[in-house]
Amino acid sequence: MAYAHTSKVAKKEPSWGSVDKTKLPDSAFADSKNRKYPHHWISGGVMYLHRGGLAAARSAAGGARSGKKASTKVSSHINKHAKDIGMGEDKKKQQIDMETLNVGINALHIMDPEIHECLFKKEEGEGASYNFSMIGYSGGIIKNHWYWGNLAIDLAGFLFNKPKYPILRDHDTNREIGFSKKPAVEAGKGLVFTNKNATLLENEEAVKFVENAFKGFPYQASIYGKPLVIEKIAEGQSVKVNGLTLKGPGTVWRKTEYMECSICVFGYDDKTIAQVFSDNGQHLDMEVESIRTVEEQELTNDKMEVFGMDLEKLKEESPEEYEALMAEAKEAAAKELEDAFTSKLAGKDGEISSLAAEKETLTVTLQTTEARVLALEKKDVLREEEAMNFKAASIWKSELANSGLPEWLHAKVQKHVQRASFMGEDGGFNVEAFTEAVKAEIKDWGSHVSQEDVQGFSLLGRSVEGGSSHEKLDSDAMVDRMLGYVGQSHPDTTH
């Protein structure tokens, strides 16, 4: 007898354990060829879908018994029955937790995804003022934010706790442009600043901003806010915010404390790399209320319904299937814990790799710096050495010029007083002692020059009787004789 294969269920059904599966037709099995995963029963010539049998079949197809999952065709067959009768449908639930976020400070600087230039218009007449308007944030969705994913700020959730707020340049507290009262929050526009609720200063930064804006420079506004309540949107989920649909993964700031508005010169997009909007290493710990939309089966204090069937009833009517279902639940829980641990471990591995790379970079930087320092030190030493040599040469030149000694003797005289003998332990050049030694040496040479003149010879190369220059004594022989007077030998003579 052929039975119609439907998802029809009976008002009353026997326990699944009491159903004789051997008498069921092949069509009562999800895998009809191998007669596996039965989920129907026969009554009055009609084949009904059995709730308990469907739960057991789905558990077995998921690998609860053998550890091996059924084919996609079998799983799809079972899941279609479950969907037809509304069994196993997940119910969405919002889970709220308090969470501490370590957020990069620049992740709180938000520029609108649309281009809203700061508009200026001067009124007519002498001494007339100007009108201006700018949109701080329109309520639009910022796609692929470097920290938040797809991001939107709920305009209805802005909190303004102060009477006045700063208007800055590029979120720099040292560059004040003006201040504002609470900005107008207008539907379809967002946070609106005009000369009615904002005042510009008369300092150099503000004057420059006004002048450039009048000329058409494309300034844009950016706000700084601190989220107090955030809603995390997972992959595949979506939420409504400011009349728009934000698709996950992403974040919605549901409550936000407004801090300030800034004037910027570039727009936010996924290609812009700007210090004011990217992670600069400065972080802030924030306590936020985190809302997460989860999909889970309905939970109660004393029972959990699985595919529309009370667990206690399943345990009573089919202990075997109940144990299989519990085994599957334990396996899923263990898998979830394992995945969480693996993810956390991977995060730590990433941190270690990042720190190792940072250490390597710092090591290279240190080595480069040390090499540069050594090179600079070498240059300083050579420069100082050159300066001291020049100083010593200057002293010799000055003293010899005033000595009256002939120039052909200068080089020979200088060999007797060396700068190296007047260097201190600290590397300093004792200029005074060196100068005195030079003077003494020149004086000593001068006295012997006088003796040579008295004995009938002139160091100028002439005899006392006025002989010609061709009769000049050999200079080296003369020097040797003069050195003999003082008990020394000529430094160039080899004995």
User: Could you tell me which residues are beta bridge partners of residue 474?
Assistant: none
Residue 308: count of CB within 10 angstroms of its CB: 17
- Mean pLDDT calculated for residue range 61-86: 84
Instruction: Give yes or no for a contact between 183 and 136, defined as CB atoms under 8 angstroms apart.
Output: yes
Scored b (16 or more CB within 10 A) or e, 362-377 reads eeeeeeeeeeeeeeee
Q: Where are the alpha helices (DSSP H) in 51-115?
A: 51-61, 72-84
Secondary structure (3-state) at 439: helix
User: Could you tell me which residues are beta bridge partners of residue 223?
Assistant: 110, 261
Scored b (16 or more CB within 10 A) or e, 332-344 reads eeeeeeeeeeeee
Instruction: Give yes or no for a contact between 93 and 80, defined as CB atoms under 8 angstroms apart.
Output: no
Residue 466: per-residue pLDDT: 42
Query: Measured in whole angstroms, how far is the alpha carbon of residue 252 from the centre of its chain?
Result: 22
pLDDT value at 227 more than 90: yes
pLDDT value at 258 more than 60: yes
Residue 328: per-residue pLDDT: 66
74-118 pLDDT, tens digit per residue, is 999 999 998 888 765 544 566 778 888 899 888 999 987 776 667
Dihedral (CA of 53, 59, 63, 66) sign: negative
Residue 244: per-residue pLDDT: 93
Q: Closest Cα partner for 52 from 316, 295, 303?
A: 316
Max mean pLDDT range (9-18, 158-167, 442-451): 158-167
Residue-range domain boundaries for the chain:
16-84, 93-296, 403-485
450-493 pLDDT, tens digit per residue, is 655 544 444 444 343 444 343 344 455 555 655 565 555 555 54
177-214 pLDDT, tens digit per residue, is 999 999 999 888 899 999 899 999 999 999 999 889 88
- Mean pLDDT calculated for residue range 285-292: 85
Q: Closest Cα partner for 304 from 318, 325, 324, 319?
A: 325
% pLDDT > 70, the chain: 76
C-alpha span between 229 and 287 (Å, rounded): 9
Q: Where are the alpha helices (DSSP H) in 248-304?
A: none
343-395 pLDDT, tens digit per residue, is 778 778 888 988 888 888 899 889 999 998 998 989 888 999 899 999 999 99
